[in-house]
Amino acid sequence: MKAIRILFVASLLAATLSCAERKPSTVGASSEVERRVDQLLSRMTLAEKIGQMNQVSAGGEVANYADALRKGQIGSILNEVDPVKVNEFQRICVEESRLGIPLLVGRDVIHGFHTVFPIPLGLASTFDPALVEEGARVAAVEATGQGVRWTFSPMLDIARDPRWGRIAEGSGEDTWLDARMAEAMVRGYQGDLSDATAMAACIKHFAGYGAAEGGRDYNSTFLTERQLRNVYLPPFEAAVKAGALTLMTSFNDNDGVPSTGNVFLVKDILRGEWGFDGLVVTDWNSMGEMIDHGFGTDRKDVARKSLEAGVDMDMMTYGYLSHLEELVHSGAVKESDIDQAVRNILRVKILLGLFENPYVDVEAGRAVQYAPEHLAAAQKTAEESAILLKNDGVLPLKADAVRNILVTGPMADAPHEQLGTWAFDGQAAHTVTPLKALQERFPGKVTYVQGLKNSRSRRERFDDVVAAARRADVVLVFLGEEAILSGEAHSLADLNLKGAQSDLLAALQAAGKPVVATVMAGRPLTIERDLPHCGALLYAFHPGTMGGPALVNLLFGDVNPSGKTPVTFLRTVGQAPLYYSHHMTGRPYNGETLLDEIPEEAGQTSLGNTSYYLDYGAYPLFPFGFGLSYTTFAYSGIALDREAYGTEDTVQVTFTLTNTGACAGTEVAQVYVRDLVGSITRPVKELKHFERVALEPGESRTLTVGIPVADLAFVGLDGVKKVEPGEFQLWVSGDSASGKPVSFEVK
């Protein structure tokens, strides 16, 4: 009896000590959760532990997986969204396996579930984290309503090369914007973890995946540690601090090391420095692909390397299930590492309440799909997302003045394509296209001539469309690229409008009627050659289910465009990569001579030796943070509360924003900062704050924004993240290329 009592006290002491030693949980796990994790783990066999680390894509019949489920060989499934099947999967686990551990059911809910929102690049264009959070919450309500409790979103990959198809899936080129969007989506998806609509977020792809050489998906990246820490990792750290429950490793090898086996990235930074105690899952077979990378000899080898790196769950390599038991028995891996992985998995399952409530209420879940308030949120997001890039005054159109609207172009009535990439569960039947929205709003006044079947269609003449244009009051042409032309594995080497789209636009303009172009795409296309052929151009990164009504409201002025570019628009693809927060270089471009201006027999050094392209210069077509409105805004009175600050201070910047136009509008005021001199060279400017400001015509508002000096910290030559004293400049403007700086000093 005494021995048992001693044992009990000892285990209690150990549990207490282990809790005391534990870092604060980034996923918000209490000591009670940890006790439950430890208690369950202590009852698990090695085989059952390894089973939890195995994730299977289970879109088929439940019976195919029943045996493995009963044996506890599957810890998570993805790609099952039939709630009845999900419940059957869970029932087998809960009622027929030895320990009754429920499954974690995952799905790529990337920008909405059934109700599809604009693609993430479009979400970022809103510069409205609160609205994006609301959309993520809608996605969680619909997805959990069908049994999904884990989404593989948000994607945080900084993308500065629009050739990369997955630029569609992230928040663009800027670290600050990306981090704010990441926090918003994590909060939106996860909400209150005690609620059945809580859906675990998965921040991905860790890390540096968007820097693929040549913009070619899955290609190698060569980011230095400083570049990782100063540009690519901060959004992930922000999302971890926001409580993200899970993270996914990326396909790419960075500087020769694939992320799924990267001890420095996962174990040292994510776990060691940030204390992340959530679940780390591989990308689809990214464990197995380390063999293709030449980083492992076989599945056993890459399974070992993944566990060593701190990866908890294996998506579709079956490396853990096939080899971990043998690796433990051979001493090649420690069971304690497996225990740690299983703790992370059980912790997420307990936090989501899956043990108490593993089943989905099928009827209640069905009732929330496509709810009116969901569609309204999607429409509002699409309205805020669209970016007005050109307007010679033709917009906004006057609804009471149009008698005959010609609608044309391959994206005018493309319900599937309008949803964009990674819209697995969006149903085209629910999409409202621009054509449908126009026909509904202007019955009998819309003529539709498709013009081109799709974006790649070729055509010599457009007689039918031109004839229709001549009879119309205004031509609305919808161009761009189908969903399939962006997203995973869909990189492009040429970013011009495909097929005969530019010819169609030119032909329409020649018809002599006002032409308004709307481009729907998954990336910033190179549209410089198209701009002269339209009076206005509205850019909508695939706007989702309610894109039609949103675009019509914008075109007719019911809503004033407020979107801003989350990524730089190039003049030509040859300029890639080009982004606003570049370094100055020793020879910054200063508008030097371009090809057409080069004199005869020009001397070798006569053109100015700076960093630019002779044929296209070094300025973009549209800079980051740019977007027009139907009104105009003016910034004035930009002033700082002091001339010098300490590293613990906050810079208070005051400015007045005036709506100098004739209609109400919303401006995204942006604050950029430049660190003039550092132990390493620094970007010419970096976004450090943005906010949407709605103003009535003629209205002025004076705002004061606090920029903590701590936000200017970076990892310098000594590898330590800190603010370096010196001279700084600060801009307040409506985009990254305008405004005059004010100066301040950090002592």
Structural contact between residues 712 and 723, judged by C-beta atoms closer than 8 angstroms: yes
Indicate the residue among 109 and 540 with the shorter CB distance to ligand GLC: 109
Task: Please list, in sequence order, all residues whose beta carbon lies within 8 angstroms of the beta carbon of residue 330, skipping any fewer than 6 positions away.
Answer: none
Q: Provide the minimum distance between the beta carbon of 653 and ligand GLC in the complex, in angstroms, as a whole number.
A: 38
Indicate the residue among 185 and 695 with the shorter CB distance to ligand GLC: 185
Indicate the residue among 108 and 128 with the shorter CB distance to ligand GLC: 108
Structural contact between residues 32 and 52, judged by C-beta atoms closer than 8 angstroms: no
What's the first-to-final CA gap in the chain, in angstroms?
Answer: 67
| Tokens encoding 590 | 């200063």
Question: For residue 31, how many C-alpha atoms fall within 13 Å in the half-sphere facing its CB?
Answer: 9
The residue whose two tokens read 């730089």 is 568
Q: Provide the minimum distance between the beta carbon of 165 and ligand GLC in the complex, in angstroms, as a whole number.
A: 11
Q: In the set 163, 180, 204, 498, which binds ligand GLC (CB under 6 A)?
A: 204
Q: Does 237 bind ligand GLC (CB under 6 A)?
A: no
Indicate the residue among 70 and 216 with the shorter CB distance to ligand GLC: 216
Indicate the residue among 235 and 514 with the shorter CB distance to ligand GLC: 235
Query: Of 217, 283, 301, 312, which residue is the catalytic one?
Result: 283
Indicate the residue among 426 and 561 with the shorter CB distance to ligand GLC: 426
Indicate the residue among 422 and 569 with the shorter CB distance to ligand GLC: 422
Give the integer Cα–Cα distance in Å for 151 and 141: 12
Q: Provide the minimum distance between the beta carbon of 365 and ligand GLC in the complex, in angstroms, as a whole number.
A: 21
Interface map 394-433 toward ligand GLC (x if CB under 6 A): ----------------------------------------
Question: For residue 563, how many C-alpha atoms fall within 13 Å in the half-sphere facing its CB?
Answer: 31
| Tokens encoding 587 | 């020879």
Q: Does 488 bind ligand GLC (CB under 6 A)?
A: yes
Q: Does 34 bind ligand GLC (CB under 6 A)?
A: no
Q: Nearest Cα to 426, choosing from 196, 56, 118?
A: 118
Indicate the residue among 118 and 154 with the shorter CB distance to ligand GLC: 154
| Tokens encoding 61 | 């019949």
Q: Provide the minimum distance between the beta carbon of 58 and ligand GLC in the complex, in angstroms, as a whole number.
A: 13
Indicate the residue among 107 and 390 with the shorter CB distance to ligand GLC: 107
Q: Provide the minimum distance between the beta carbon of 685 and ligand GLC in the complex, in angstroms, as a whole number.
A: 31
Q: Nearest Cα to 205, choosing from 232, 176, 179?
A: 232
Q: Nearest Cα to 317, choosing from 260, 390, 373?
A: 260
Q: Provide the minimum distance between the beta carbon of 107 and ligand GLC in the complex, in angstroms, as a whole number.
A: 8
Number of helices (H), then strands (E), belonging to the chain: the values are 21, 26
Q: Provide the minimum distance between the beta carbon of 252 and ligand GLC in the complex, in angstroms, as a whole number.
A: 11
Pick out residues in 254-293 that bind ligand GLC (CB under 6 A). 283-284
- The alpha-carbon radius of gyration of the chain (Å, integer) is 27
With b for 16 or more beta-carbon neighbours within 10 A and e for fewer, the 396-417 pattern comes to bbeeeebeebbbbbbbbbbbbb
Helix (H) or strand (E) holding 92: helix 83-96
Taking CA 519 as the corner, what is the angle to CA 513 and CA 521, rounded to the nearest 5 degrees? 165
Structural contact between residues 717 and 709, judged by C-beta atoms closer than 8 angstroms: no
Structural contact between residues 508 and 466, judged by C-beta atoms closer than 8 angstroms: yes
Q: Is the peptide bond before 111 cis (omega within 30 degrees of 0)?
A: no
Helix 335-351 and helix 319-329: axis angle, to 10°?
A: 140
Interface map 106-145 toward ligand GLC (x if CB under 6 A): --x-------------------------------------
Residue-wise DSSP of 31-75: HHHHHHHHHHHTT--HHHHHHHTEEEE--S-THHHHHHHHTT--S
Q: Provide the minimum distance between the beta carbon of 223 and ligand GLC in the complex, in angstroms, as a whole number.
A: 18
Residue-wise DSSP of 470-531: HH-SEEEEEEE--GGGSSTT---S--SPPTTHHHHHHHHHHTTS-EEEEEEESS----GGGG
Amino acid at 730: L
Indicate the residue among 168 and 492 with the shorter CB distance to ligand GLC: 168
What 8-state DSSP symbol labels residue 244?
-
Lateral strand order in the sheet of 650-659: 633-640, 650-659, 700-708
Q: Provide the minimum distance between the beta carbon of 275 and ligand GLC in the complex, in angstroms, as a whole number.
A: 24
Pairs from 29-36 (Cβ < 8 Å, separation ≥ 24): 29/277, 29/347, 29/350, 29/351, 33/347, 33/350, 33/351, 34/347, 36/346, 36/350
Please state whether 98 falls in left (phi above 0), alpha (psi between -120 and 50) or beta: alpha
Q: Does 152 bind ligand GLC (CB under 6 A)?
A: yes
Q: Provide the minimum distance between the beta carbon of 426 and ligand GLC in the complex, in angstroms, as a whole number.
A: 15
The residue whose two tokens read 């860790």 is 206
| Count of residues in contact with ligand GLC, rule CB under 6 A | 6
Q: Provide the minimum distance between the beta carbon of 631 and ligand GLC in the complex, in angstroms, as a whole number.
A: 39
Helix 547-555 and helix 372-385: axis angle, to 10°?
A: 50
Indicate the residue among 285 and 447 with the shorter CB distance to ligand GLC: 285
Q: Provide the minimum distance between the beta carbon of 283 and ligand GLC in the complex, in angstroms, as a whole number.
A: 5
Indicate the residue among 152 and 731 with the shorter CB distance to ligand GLC: 152
Taking CA 665 as the corner, what is the angle to CA 662 and CA 668, rounded to the nearest 5 degrees? 135
Indicate the residue among 202 and 405 with the shorter CB distance to ligand GLC: 202
Q: Does 48 bind ligand GLC (CB under 6 A)?
A: no
Cβ-proximal residue to ligand GLC, closest one? 152
Give the integer Cα–Cα distance in Å for 238 and 251: 22
Q: Provide the minimum distance between the beta carbon of 60 and ligand GLC in the complex, in angstroms, as a whole number.
A: 16
Residue 283 annotated as catalytic: yes
Binding residues for ligand GLC (CB under 6 A): 108, 152, 204, 283-284, 488
Positions marked active-site: 283
